[in-house]
Amino acid sequence: MYSRLRRLPSFWIASVLLVLVLLLGILGSALAPHDPLAGGSALLQAPSATHLLGTDYLGRDVLSRLLAGSRVSILGAFEVAAIALVVGTIPGLLSVYLGRVFEWLTLRIMDTLIALPFLVFAVALTALLGNGLTQAMLSVGILLSPMFYRVSRAAALTVSSSQYVEAAVLSGGSTGWVLRRHIGPKVLAPIGIAFANAAGVGLVIVASLTFLGIGVQPPAPTWGGMLASDLGYLAYQPYAPAYPIVLIMLTVWAFNLLADVLRDTSGEAGRILLKKRALAKARRRGRRLQPQLAGRVE
Amino acid sequence: MTPPILDHVVGRRTLLTTGAASLALVLAGCSTTSTGTGASTAAGAATGTLSWASSYAPSSWDPVVNGSGAAFRITALAYASLTNTDEDGKAAPGLAESWTYNDAGTKVTFHLRPGLTFADGTALDSTAVKKYIERAQTQENSSLVGEGISVIESVETPSATDVRLNLSQPDFQLPLVLAQRVGQITNPSRSAAELNEKPDGAGPFTPVTIVAGSKATFVKNPDYWDADNIHIANVTVSFGADASSIVSGLQSGVYNFSDLTPSQVKAAKAANLDVVLQPGFNANNLSVNTTIAPFDKPEVLQALNYAIDREAIVKQIDFGYGTAATEPFPKGYIAYDPSSAARYAYDPTKARQLLADAGYADGLEVEFVVSADTPTNELIQAQLKKVGITAALKVDTNWATSFFAKKLALTTYGTTGRDSPIQTLQAHFGPAGALNSAGTEPGSAFDEAVATALATPLDSDDYEKNIQAATAAGLATTGLIFTDSLPNILVKTKAVSDLPRIPAYITWTGVTITGR
């Protein structure tokens, strides 16, 4: 899989961006040049040598707050994707194997989850369970799980009716063994795509929730929260919302790009795509070489 | 005790001379074209729509239940009050054209204007007022119980236009108390549940549609007692607009009037809108419940007092439009006690020392539960941090329930004030006061000072002195730390003429809207 991925430049772009974002998430607070919570009397200052991105409405360093806020935002995104993965994939795979009652039941549950608007549901759940990011992410993760349920179920359905799987079952392979040996590897690619997608969606949701002031304990900085407060001071710093917006956009874009790359390279279609690219490359190289060759001959 | 009767012609002349520029122009235009016709013909015509974006919505359209001071400005569209206040904060006629006290100050009779009616034809007579006052005193969810009406022992109706209040003690504040906040008279033929959904009063405007928390539309009420001076035909109030969208909303013509946060003033001025700093009685405070540990230790409360840097709040949060406050009203108000003002100057060193004395040398961790994540709350949190108090800021959507049940140890609150200064004092320091964070008896010194101030006629030479003594007595016992006071910052387009500068009120009398 990796050998195929690394042949696409978009994979490298996505990975570099995501590694950078991940580093921000891990090291953000340590990299911050100032205390992200310490205010000063210099309010809403333009970028300067001491404050590279300026200061906010309480005189806090914006760069430090962006860096310190990345952990919550990125952690939240992964949390959503991971919860959705576990809650969606396991029943998705089992729905193919555990009989019609389980299948019918999980399908109806997933239909119900799809019908719920997740931002509203997350807001309601934080009101019920307390205003924490984990509570909000839990609810969003559960509501995002139908995506994994459907993807894994669809992949498992095609594989489970194939002859070699039927042969394995007839030879006495247990459900667990069949799932691990035959179904698992086949559904891995679509789930990987779904995961990258979910992480992107998750980041947007974390940003939206923190924008609304849900899931964070002030004055802890978050990207969405910074965006929300920046909007109140547009007359002073019209450019300020751009900082968190660019970070959010780049991260989500990288996740989506990764999802695209995974999709493009997986399965038979991926093999064809890579072969075509290789051929096109060879042809281009050949064309570029030809005039020189011709020159030499003459 | 008969107040000056506001004469329309006099009113116009005053406005013209005081230079309410755009209004003067409009009125001048009227008088030249309407060759000598009476004031009523020129003034009776109403045009234009007021599109008001309001950051606050009434939780209930029943003035007995709605407890928010700011929201009374909205309900005042639909309800006329028994009295009003004028530009000096003095009681002025409303539904009652005058009032008389007995010499002892224990009985007051309000004389209603004759022939007042509600929109459905129900008479607004002494019986309607009596029913309203009794409802305000007894209704289970009334937010007016602690608002200066507990002295009313009984209400009599000697005639259809006379309402006599028998008081348990001399109280000369009632003409002020029964103004917009407490005296918005409701139609007695409506149940409390009906009023909750849709207002029914005899105010300048009649409600057309009310969508809770979203929008309310009104048309001019031709039967309002001062309808001749209402020149606006329609009113639309939109609730819940985001503060950062107000200025662009006014620029694009979606609204033509709104309240404004200090951070938006610069944008509004840049957009060539009129920013009005309307005087008010606003005061923000840090509410400390002195019955909950560790705030039950006097040193801790003192430390908090010294830890608050008011000038920083004025500069950073109010963008210079506010003033530092140490009392529940702004400086210069009649009840403002200069001798109590400088009790606690900002002194973080002393605050640390006091905390150490109380046994918290290594710092102190407390919960700071607030209604919204505002810059003020974050700044106060940072100021407390400086003296070693780690306040965990928590935004509680059900904040109001806990706050009014006096369950919060540390929080912030902002009052819009009351028309009667003693009512303000009782609300903050009295045992039944909604804003008394601890809910404890303030002690006999305060009670005595309040009784003396209540019994002082408003035109007495001792009035100011007695009322300031009551302020001092209240402040001496409280866990309320006042921080800053802002005027009411309003913004309007040029199409809306100047508003009467009545403190804390938004009054539409005499206001015109030109253009669309």
Instruction: Mutation target for A interface from B378, B381, B411, B491: give the one with most A CBs within 10 A.
Output: B378
Average pLDDT over residues A205-215: 86
CATH code of the domain covering residue A248: 1.10.3720.10
Residue A167 lies in a domain: yes
One-letter identity of residue B512: T
User: What is d(CA B380, CA B287) in angstroms, rounded to the nearest whole number?
Assistant: 12
Average pLDDT over residues A48-61: 91
Average pLDDT over residues B443-471: 92
In B252-347, alpha helices (H): 265-270, 298-307, 310-316, 338-341
Residue B36: predicted pLDDT: 35
Strand order, beta sheet including B488-492:
B205-211, B215-220, B232-239, B47-54, B257-259, B488-492, B274-278
* pLDDT of B273 above 70: yes
Rounded to the nearest angstrom, the minimum Cα separation between A206 and chain B is 17
Which of B263, B315, B377 lies at the smallest CB-CB distance from A233? B263
Between A129 and B121, the higher pLDDT residue: B121
Average pLDDT over residues A144-167: 90
Rounded to the nearest angstrom, the minimum Cα separation between B242 and chain A is 9
Length, in residues, of chain B: 516
B contacts of A217 (beta carbons < 8 Å): 392-394
**If you measure CA to CA, which chain B residue comes closest to A127?**
B397
Rounded to the nearest angstrom, the minimum Cα separation between A245 and chain B is 17
Domain of residue A10 covers: 2-265
Q: pLDDT band at residue A146, thresholds of 50, 70 and 90? A: very high
Rounded to the nearest angstrom, the minimum Cα separation between B314 and chain A is 12
Q: Quick one: which of B434, B510, B101, B481 has its CA closest to B313?
A: B481
Residue A288 lies in a domain: no
If one counts the domains in chain A, the total is: 1
Q: How many CB atoms lie within 10 A of CB A281?
A: 11
Do the strands B257-259 and B47-54 form a parallel or antiparallel pair, or are they unpaired?
parallel
Between A29 and B230, the higher pLDDT residue: B230
One-letter identity of residue A184: G
Average pLDDT over residues B248-253: 94
* Alpha-carbon separation of residue A193 from A7, A186, B172, B300 (angstroms): 17, 13, 76, 57
Residue B44: predicted pLDDT: 58
**If you measure CA to CA, which chain A residue comes closest to B372?**
A213
Residue B5: predicted pLDDT: 39
Mean confidence (pLDDT) of chain A: 87
B contacts of A43 (beta carbons < 8 Å): 316
Residue A1: predicted pLDDT: 63
* pLDDT of A123 above 70: yes
* pLDDT of B285 above 80: yes
Range from A98-102, A176-180, B160-164, B402-406 that averages highest in pLDDT? B160-164
Residue A14 lies in a domain: yes
Does A57 contact B263 at a Cβ distance shorter than 8 Å? yes
Does A235 contact B263 at a Cβ distance shorter than 8 Å? yes
Residue A293: predicted pLDDT: 53
Residue A219 lies in a domain: yes
Which of B267, B379, B396 lies at the smallest CB-CB distance from A235? B267
Average pLDDT over residues A115-129: 83
Residue B37: predicted pLDDT: 36
Residue A292: predicted pLDDT: 54
**If you measure CA to CA, which chain B residue comes closest to A39?**
B382
* pLDDT of A207 above 50: yes
Residue A291 lies in a domain: no
Residue A213 lies in a domain: yes
Average pLDDT over residues B287-310: 92
**If you measure CA to CA, which chain A residue comes closest to B268?**
A235
Residue A296 lies in a domain: no
Q: Is A151 exposed, middle or buried (0-12, 13-18, 19+ CB in 10 A)?
A: buried
**If you measure CA to CA, which chain A residue comes closest to B311?**
A41
**If you measure CA to CA, which chain A residue comes closest to B376?**
A58
Q: What are B188-197's pLDDT values in tens digits? A: 999 999 999 9
Does A232 contact B381 at a Cβ distance shorter than 8 Å? no
Does B316 contact A37 at a Cβ distance shorter than 8 Å? no
* pLDDT of A161 above 90: no
- pTM of this prediction? 0.81
Average pLDDT over residues B266-277: 95
Q: How many CB atoms lie within 10 A of CB B357?
A: 14
Between B173 and A134, the higher pLDDT residue: B173
Count of A-B CB contacts under 8 Å: 57
- Reported as type and span, the H/E element at residue B205 is strand B205-211
Does A218 contact B312 at a Cβ distance shorter than 8 Å? no
> Which residue matches tokens 């989500």?
A252
Q: What are B134-182's pLDDT values in tens digits? A: 999 999 999 998 888 999 999 999 999 999 999 999 999 999 999 999 9
ipTM at complex level: 0.75
Contact with chain B for residue A213, Cβ under 8 A: yes
Q: What are B122-134's pLDDT values in tens digits? A: 999 999 999 999 9
Average pLDDT over residues B325-340: 89
* pLDDT of A68 above 50: yes
Residue B7: predicted pLDDT: 35
Q: What are A272-283's pLDDT values in tens digits? A: 888 888 888 888
Residue A284 lies in a domain: no
Between B306 and B6, the higher pLDDT residue: B306
Residue B488: predicted pLDDT: 94
The interaxial angle of helices A184-211 and A62-97, nearest 10 deg, is 140
Q: pLDDT band at residue B14, thresholds of 50, 70 and 90? A: very low
* pLDDT of A70 above 50: yes
Residue A126: predicted pLDDT: 80
Phi, then psi, of B185 in degrees rounded to 5: -75, 130
Mean confidence (pLDDT) of chain B: 88
Q: pLDDT band at residue A127, thresholds of 50, 70 and 90? A: confident
Q: pLDDT band at residue A288, thresholds of 50, 70 and 90? A: low
N-to-C CA span, chain B: 44
Does B266 contact A235 at a Cβ distance shorter than 8 Å? yes
Contact with chain A for residue B271, Cβ under 8 A: no
User: What is d(CA A149, CA A69) in angstroms, rounded to the nearest whole number?
Assistant: 32
Residue B23: predicted pLDDT: 40
User: What is d(CA A274, CA A280) in angstroms, rounded to the nearest whole number?
Assistant: 10
Q: What are B52-62's pLDDT values in tens digits? A: 999 999 989 99
